[in-house]
Amino acid sequence: MIPDTIYTLFSLVAIPSSASAPNLFHPVLSLTVSLVMVCLYGAICFLHALIIYNDESNTYSKSYWDGLGYAEVGFQGVLGLLHAGMALLSCIAVHQWRRSKRGERAGYTADVELTPSTKDARVSDLS
């Protein structure tokens, strides 16, 4: 949860200022952090469920506490799936960013926005 909190606070600062400094919130950074978070949440969900299952303490209302623990594992699983969705969108953004960089080298600029294009821009189409 600590890396997720740090990344959330960074993105709250980086996304609004990305209009003035476009390289502050880079698509590759978003992809990397999203993949790391998916791996972290996967490991945390597994370990947390294993800890709850193997708890040998005999406390009052143990089934109630186990239910709360499994609900927390479910919530962490949902967060992991949301980070997986963000990783997918980051893959799309990185692909379009790389396509625009390739286009700049060829002498034209491509749209970097996450909008579906009807046709790939090629040098022969622009000349």
Q: What is the pLDDT of residues 8-60, one digit of tens each?
A: 777 777 766 655 666 667 788 888 888 998 999 999 999 999 988 887 777 77
Query: How far is Cα 48 from Cα 54, in angstroms, rounded to an integer?
Result: 10
User: What is the residue-wise DSSP string for 25-81?
Assistant: S-HHHHHHHHHHHHHHHHHHHHHHHHHHHT-----TTHHHHHHHHHHHHHHHHHHHH
What confidence tier does 115 reach under pLDDT thresholds 50, 70, 90? very low
Q: Which one has a higher pLDDT value, 9 or 75?
A: 75
Q: For position 19, what pLDDT does the model report?
A: 58
pLDDT score of 122 more than 80: no
Q: How many CB atoms lie within 10 A of CB 38?
A: 19
CA atoms within 13 A on the CB side of 88: 6
Q: For position 94, what pLDDT does the model report?
A: 87
Q: For position 85, what pLDDT does the model report?
A: 92
Q: How many CB atoms lie within 10 A of CB 114?
A: 10
